[in-house]
């Protein structure tokens, strides 16, 4: 259904509108996976979002900042501002604009959806379900050529420079560094 929906429209505007709708759906699914399964279990995402969750933990738990909603999405948007500027200079403007819009929707959904545990009990099951939902959201957004910023855009810029990097390698480096930091700060589980 989504593939048929993404077929080019009669005008470029219709095609871009379809991409925006599908990208927004992907951002919503991503936020659901994160806020309903990952965050309530005290787990961290990979990528730049994981770093934003780590910063949120430092601000709330260690610095004592009192906030009534999860600020990780807002931190993610702020962290993406310099990346968007660099991408605007180095990548296709339409692509970067779609990424900016998708990142804004991701921020909105991550901020307004409650961090409410949807699955009691098994941490592994919650992690898997949240990962599948968030991963599906990310995949749908990428499929519609509306990435959610972060390592996706940095990876695209590195690929354009023919540096031998890929988005997958970059994600692996960012994730390993994040989880090593978490290993030092928190317990192994």
At residue 89, the pLDDT reads 94
Q: What is the pLDDT of residues 120-153, one digit of tens each?
A: 778 888 889 999 999 999 999 988 888 888 888 8
> How far, in Å, are 56, 58, 60, 110, 126 from residue 65 at the CA level?
9, 9, 5, 19, 28
pTM value surpassing 0.85 = yes
Mean model confidence pLDDT for the chain: 87
At residue 166, the pLDDT reads 80
At residue 8, the pLDDT reads 65
Give 99: exposed, middle or buried? Use CB within 10 Å, 0-12, 13-18, 19+. Answer: buried
Structure-block tokens of residue 95:
């692509």
At residue 9, the pLDDT reads 64
At residue 129, the pLDDT reads 92
List the chain residues with pLDDT less than 50: none
């Amino acid at each position: 259904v989504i593939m048929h929906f993404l077929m080019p429209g009669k005008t470029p505007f219709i095609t871009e509108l379809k991409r925006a709708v599908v990208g927004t759906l992907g951002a919503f699914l991503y936020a659901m996976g994160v806020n309903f399964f990952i965050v309530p279990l005290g787990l961290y995402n990979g990528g730049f979002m994981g770093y934003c969750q780590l910063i949120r933990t430092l601000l709330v738990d260690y610095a004592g900042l009192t906030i009534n909603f999860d600020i990780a999405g807002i931190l993610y948007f702020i962290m993406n501002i310099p990346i968007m500027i660099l991408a605007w200079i180095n990548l296709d403007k339409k692509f970067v604009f779609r990424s900016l819009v998708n990142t804004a929707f991701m921020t909105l959904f991550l901020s307004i959806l409650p961090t409410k545990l949807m699955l009691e009990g098994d941490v592994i099951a919650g992690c898997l379900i949240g990962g599948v939902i968030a991963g599906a959201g990310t995949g749908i957004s990428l499929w519609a050529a509306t990435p959610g910023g972060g390592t996706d855009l940095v990876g695209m810029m590195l690929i354009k420079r023919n540096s031998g990097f890929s988005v997958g390698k970059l994600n692996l480096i960012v994730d390993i560094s994040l989880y090593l930091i978490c290993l030092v700060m928190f317990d192994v589980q």
